[in-house]
Amino acid sequence: MILDPAQITTREKLILTGLYLSKYGPRGLKKLGFQTFSEAYNVVGYALRSRPSSIKNYRDEFDPIFPNRRKGWHKREIREYCKKVLDAYVDLDFESYSGLVKSFSGYNEDAWSEIEIDDKREKQDSGFAKRLITGIAAERYFESVHSMVPEFKDCSIENRTQLGCGYDFKLSRTGDEDFFAVEVKGMREQNGSVLLTPKEFEVAKKLQERFFLFVVKNFQKSPYHEIFPNPLAGSLQFTRTERVLVQVSWLTRV
């Protein structure tokens, strides 16, 4: 059994996620913070830069083994490479297995708790789904489709999500000094709210027509996107909101 996600291949991560959802069903779904299995397939699938259907197929693979109402692929033997994963992880306890699945996408529960502290465990668990939908899964969805978006035709792409520059991706064409800045947001449903940070808002105001808001909608069922060029000057209406965050820390002298 390997518990270090860096040593687990992408295919094994997909298999383990399918196994987890088959073994724990609605309990596992709730633990990850998802509302539907389709949402879990879409969000984790894109977060792993893979097809969401792969996770569903692996769940089908293991369904005949566990006591649930789903028959899965009961008319054939489990594939050998799937059986090896099953044998290696079948005794992993629920909490450890849940943490392992969360870690596949680089999710750090401790880091998230610094941003949103809540003493209710159910809401804390939902942070995993929330973080992937609004961030990682949406960003990797964009990476997978940007070359097919007319506005970004023939553009090279540079991931800037870790640089804190007020947008997620820089797109540019050879020989063109200007570039496009794309901020990606993700939503669980077809409609909802989108939040811009002060930095993102200022960059959008400065770059104007070179700034794009790319919103990935409907992760709950079937993701699709909508693009808003120069969003501050378009049809969107932004309202300034303020929030006071209280963060508790512990100090000692040594």
- pLDDT at residue 73, rounded to an integer: 63
* Local structure of 172: helix, strand or coil: strand
Tokens of 88: 């290696």
Architecture of domain 149-254 in this structure: 3-Layer(aba) Sandwich (3.40)
Q: Dump pLDDT digits (tens) for 86-126.
A: 999 989 999 999 999 999 887 655 544 443 444 444 455 56
Q: Dump pLDDT digits (tens) for 189-219.
A: 999 999 999 999 999 999 999 999 999 999 9
Cα(104)–Cα(134) distance, integer angstroms: 17
Burial (0-12, 13-18, 19+ Cβ within 10 Å), 200 = buried
Confidence of residue 252 (pLDDT cuts 50, 70, 90): confident
Q: Dump pLDDT digits (tens) for 69-80.
A: 776 666 678 899
Stated pTM of the model: 0.84
Mean pLDDT is lowest, of 37-41, 42-46, 102-106, 201-205, for 102-106
**10 Å Cβ neighbour count for 218?**
19
Contact 171, 179 (CB under 8 A): yes
- pLDDT at residue 187, rounded to an integer: 94
Contact 13, 21 (CB under 8 A): no
- pLDDT at residue 107, rounded to an integer: 61
CATH 3.40.1350 placement within the chain: 149-254
